[in-house]
Structure 1
Amino acid sequence: MLLPLRYWAMLSMLAAVGAGAQAKDRRTVAEPVAPGYVCARLAPSRQNDTARLQDAIAHCPPGSAVYLSGGTFLSGPLEMKSGVTLWIERDATLVAVAQREAYDKGFGNCGRIEGKGDGCRPFISFSKTRGGGIYGEGIIDGQGGALMVGTTESWWQLARRAQAEGGYQNVPRLIQIDHAHDITFHGITLRNAPNFHVAMNRVEGATFWGVTIDTPADARNTDGIDPGASQDVTITHCQIRTGDDNVAIKAGNNGPTRHISIIDNYFGWGHGMSIGSEVSSGVSDILVHGLTLDGTTSGLRIKSDVSRGGLVERVTYENVCLRGNRWPIYFDTRYDIHASGNRIPLYRKIALRHVRGGDGALVMHGLDGGHNLEIALDDVRFSDSATWQVENADAVVSDVWPPLRSGQAPLSSGAWEGCAKAFR
């Protein structure tokens, strides 16, 4: 049920709505500029280029770029070096080999279903690096739908089989950024990842500007960009369509995630703008501004449960357009209804301002009466057929439709059509 707020709580929530611009990446972020020095300019060899690419990366000095010119480069896993940029020009494509042995960590698990995952190396890794990144208008293709060499199924088919049979698929992530600082992606297209496209762990400072992620809607576990245990991250001017979360902000046992800006992006198919489900180390100071979610199953989503919960606070969503979503708003503390544990998911100081959408279920579920969801809604308007599902929530509302309280005006026809243009 909708519960009343004490006066001090109401003031706090209203302040959170007005202070959205403060909950964000603390850096001053401008459009990135590619390195001025190209240390190696490569053309495709029509063979496996792994050794040649890795050698160029290893011998380039910090502040320089390895430039891939037009054509198709076939490669196995690559390890990036501090300060070195991989620059892929518009007509160039870097293709990941669909070969299990190339990614195996030495235990023979990659490309198989086992009792645990993480048996594969990523295609591209940034490990303990500072600076550098990936630039250019070219493509990195993970070949998730291609048959693995020597088998009759693809990485994606293996993932679906694991879902049906039980167990974990061991498949490579496209890009892993681990214990790194000041990483930049600009203009690149990432597609067909076998698993997550970009996964981050303990990253301090990362910018994704004008990145396109495009993978089929039924490709299992192919998240777009996942900041985990990281801080000061900006994702802006990106277009993301994928088979799982378009963006998922996570904070498991490896540390908190905070000061994240998601600014002026378009999400097509996928599972939406997510926080969770792992939030045990805490998520805070998140700004989502100028986002269009067009055909995502969920829209704005915070998901966790008592097995992996924690504190999620100071999250602001503003100037958001939603269309064709089953759950345009989905803030749930019982993501796995069978979960057990004492890691309480608590969502507070959540603010929505200038949000427009169509129909669907609008879910706000706090865990229980002692752990209410605290939220402020200001100018949040959906179609007449949208339905609120509210439990254990303390809410401050102003100009909300369908009404949580009486005396509000209905949403005018055409409100969604104008919002994307106005907000982007």
Structure 2
Amino acid sequence: MRRSFTLVDVLLLLALFIDAPWAIRGNSHCQWGNPAVIRPHSVAITEFGAVGDGVTLNTKAFQNAIFYLNSFADKGGAKLFVPAGQWLTGSFDLISHLTLWLDKDAIILGSTNSDDWPVIDSLPSYGRGRELPGRRHKSLIYGRNLTDVIITGDNGTIDGQGSIWWNWFRNETLDYTRPHLVELMNTTGVVISNLTFLNSPFWTIHPVYCSQVIVQNVTILAPLDSPNTDGIDPDSSDDVCIEDCYISTGDDIIAIKSGWDEYGTSYARPSKNITIRGLVGQTTSAGIAIGSEMSGGVSEVHAENLTFYNSTTGIRIKTAPGRGGYVRNIYISNMSLTDVKTAIRFTGQYGDHPDESYDPKALPLIERITIDDVTGQNVKYAGLLEGLEGDTFLDICLSNINLSVTSKSPWNCSYIQGYSEAVSPEICEPLRETIIPDHYSGCYYPSHHLQSSSNETEVLDCLGKFMVA
């Protein structure tokens, strides 16, 4: 007896196979790393003379402990345990195959003496310090050219005590660009989890030229008026997962970057394959920003389950003539906004330049940006979408957007091309062509590919037999 199968039958069968263990989902890179990995060697910072009174400077103790643990890097790695207490320190470097573990009542305090934050070279993709020409201060916790680094604990705290740096910035008395709280360079296999980060002098967590990075279940806090205290800034990095974080800072909650003008173009390392999910926060800037330093390119960014409140902007793309580079294949979905001034903002004329050597004719390519499933209450503007004359932002797709907007002019669009579906309030003229049925292929949607294997062939053969049965 022959049975006819409907399309529904086939889709159900495909769903079963997609849930099979050999199926690879688009977010599989989020599974890298294990903060609970057991290191065969462990020491406490107190074994190296550290005193957790919040007054004694423990920089040498951290440096000596990590120097000692480096002898175990090729023997399964090591763990540095920071017990309860307030551990004042200047900058110190991590090593490969290291777990830095903070007890729940442990607080690492950044020194308020700038001499305890050494001055190092500028990043090659920036050409100079981000704030001032020349070099920059090293981050409190720093590492470069490493493999397998874990910074975690039982919700301990890393406090940069950044207010003194913010005052120096406001008073224009800095000699060098301010330091980050955590920076890892040229590092593969990073896990940062289960910690609270407070009061960074500058950007809080900065993976730059890194691969396989997880930032998970962290809280990042700084006053809303603190300058440039970004939460997490993946920079010229790939295969990055950020999930289940709460961030309240004075600048972008997440800022994806890839170098600055001609230096970023020359260094040519993009940020790509970045997943963000389960993010909650507030800011005087954007919930998720791309740029404005994006000259090395940004692509394949997937963000979902986002909640932003009491903020200036939900999603923002920032760029400028002279940047070059590209931002493409961006998918953002399931975003909730409350008391946000502008839900979506694209800015084609944003930011300064490192020097006068940039090429003003180096125009950025912005294309295939999809934003889907957005709700908002007490939003002033639905969208301020401003491309560049002679450099139209292409294939901007907005769908299933429902915003309660207070402005009488909810959308302002220029040099923008794209499509929309089910958007309220009514979208601006350049985006009124509908996505379905004619323009779906012009929009970017992440795909879930089956792993190429003999099993895949078996599935296709099986489906073929069902279709003719």
Q: TM-score range by the shorter chain?
A: 0.7 to 0.9
Alignment of 1:27-176 (within 5 A): 27-29=29-31, 32-37=34-39, 39-43=42-46, 45=51, 46=53, 47-60=56-69, 61-62=72-73, 63-105=77-119, 116=133, 118-136=135-153, 137-145=155-163, 154-162=164-172, 170-176=177-183
- C-alpha separation in 1, matches of 2:44 and 2:62: 10
**1:24 shift after superposition:** 5.9
| Aligned amino acid, residue 51 of structure 1 | K
Q: Does 1:267 align with 2:281?
A: yes
- C-alpha separation in 2, matches of 1:215 and 1:288: 23
Q: Show the counterpart of 1:280.
A: 295
Once the two structures are superposed, residues 268-298 of structure 1 have per-residue CA deviations (whole angstroms, 9 ceiling, x without a partner) of 2242210000111111000010011111211
- Out of 206, 218, 237, the position equivalent to 1:230 is 237
- C-alpha separation in 2, matches of 1:370 and 1:106: 37
Q: Does 1:354 align with 2:373?
A: yes
**1:30 shift after superposition:** 6.3
| Aligned amino acid, residue 196 of structure 1 | W
Judge which range, 71-80 or 389-398, deviates more: 389-398
Q: Show the counterpart of 2:335.
A: 320
Structure 2 unpaired stretches of 5+: 1-23, 122-129, 433-469
- C-alpha separation in 1, matches of 2:175 and 2:414: 34
| Aligned amino acid, residue 176 of structure 1 | E
Structure 1 residues 25 and 51: CA distance shift in structure 2, 3 A: farther
| Aligned amino acid, residue 264 of structure 1 | G
Q: Calculate the TM-score normalised by the size of structure 2.
A: 0.74
Structure 1 residues 23 and 373: CA distance shift in structure 2, 3 A: farther
Alignment of 1:373-388 (within 5 A): 373-386=394-407, 387-388=410-411
- C-alpha separation in 2, matches of 1:274 and 1:224: 11
Q: Show the counterpart of 2:440.
A: none
- C-alpha separation in 1, matches of 2:132 and 2:180: 18
Structure 1 residues 307 and 405: CA distance shift in structure 2, 3 A: closer
Q: Does 1:400 align with 2:423?
A: yes
Structure 1 residues 141 and 188: CA distance shift in structure 2, 3 A: same
Alignment of 1:190-205 (within 5 A): 190-205=197-212
**1:346 shift after superposition:** 2.4
Once the two structures are superposed, residues 299-358 of structure 1 have per-residue CA deviations (whole angstroms, 9 ceiling, x without a partner) of 100000002242110000100011222222111212249997122122211001111113
| Counterpart secondary structure, 2:332 | strand
Q: Which has the larger radius of gyration?
A: 2
Q: Does structure 2 retain, via aligned residues, the 8 Å contact 1:23–1:286?
A: no
- C-alpha separation in 2, matches of 1:225 and 1:235: 9
- C-alpha separation in 1, matches of 2:387 and 2:113: 45
Once the two structures are superposed, residues 225-261 of structure 1 have per-residue CA deviations (whole angstroms, 9 ceiling, x without a partner) of 1111110000000111111111100011132110000
- C-alpha separation in 2, matches of 1:243 and 1:405: 31
Judge which range, 272-281 or 34-43, deviates more: 34-43
| Aligned amino acid, residue 365 of structure 1 | E
Q: Does structure 1 retain, via aligned residues, the 8 Å contact 2:314–2:342?
A: yes
- C-alpha separation in 2, matches of 1:263 and 1:29: 13
Judge which range, 82-91 or 194-203, deviates more: 194-203
Q: Show the counterpart of 1:12.
A: none
Structure 1 residues 219 and 42: CA distance shift in structure 2, 3 A: same
Any runs of at least 4 consecutive aligned residues in structure 1 with deviations exceeding 4 A, and if so which? 22-26, 336-340
Structure 1 unpaired stretches of 5+: 1-21, 108-112, 146-153, 408-424
- C-alpha separation in 2, matches of 1:370 and 1:246: 28
- C-alpha separation in 2, matches of 1:24 and 1:102: 43
Structure 1 residues 206 and 114: CA distance shift in structure 2, 3 A: closer
Q: Calculate the TM-score normalised by the size of structure 1.
A: 0.81
- C-alpha separation in 1, matches of 2:35 and 2:117: 32
**1:98 shift after superposition:** 0.9
Percent identity, aligned pairs only, is 28
Q: Does structure 1 retain, via aligned residues, the 8 Å contact 2:30–2:240?
A: no
- C-alpha separation in 2, matches of 1:378 and 1:212: 31
Structure 1 residues 23 and 259: CA distance shift in structure 2, 3 A: farther
- C-alpha separation in 2, matches of 1:178 and 1:115: 20
Q: Does structure 2 retain, via aligned residues, the 8 Å contact 1:24–1:232?
A: no
- C-alpha separation in 2, matches of 1:248 and 1:237: 16
- Out of 340, 346, 349, the position equivalent to 1:331 is 346
- C-alpha separation in 1, matches of 2:330 and 2:116: 41
| Counterpart secondary structure, 2:119 | coil
Q: Show the counterpart of 2:9.
A: none
Structure 1 residues 371 and 106: CA distance shift in structure 2, 3 A: closer
Q: Does structure 2 retain, via aligned residues, the 8 Å contact 1:159–1:169?
A: no
Once the two structures are superposed, residues 177-202 of structure 1 have per-residue CA deviations (whole angstroms, 9 ceiling, x without a partner) of 10110110010111111111111221
| Aligned amino acid, residue 380 of structure 1 | I
Q: Does structure 2 retain, via aligned residues, the 8 Å contact 1:224–1:245?
A: yes
Structure 1 residues 25 and 250: CA distance shift in structure 2, 3 A: farther
Q: Does structure 2 retain, via aligned residues, the 8 Å contact 1:32–1:186?
A: no
| Aligned amino acid, residue 38 of structure 2 | G
The CA RMSD over aligned residues, in Å, is 2.7
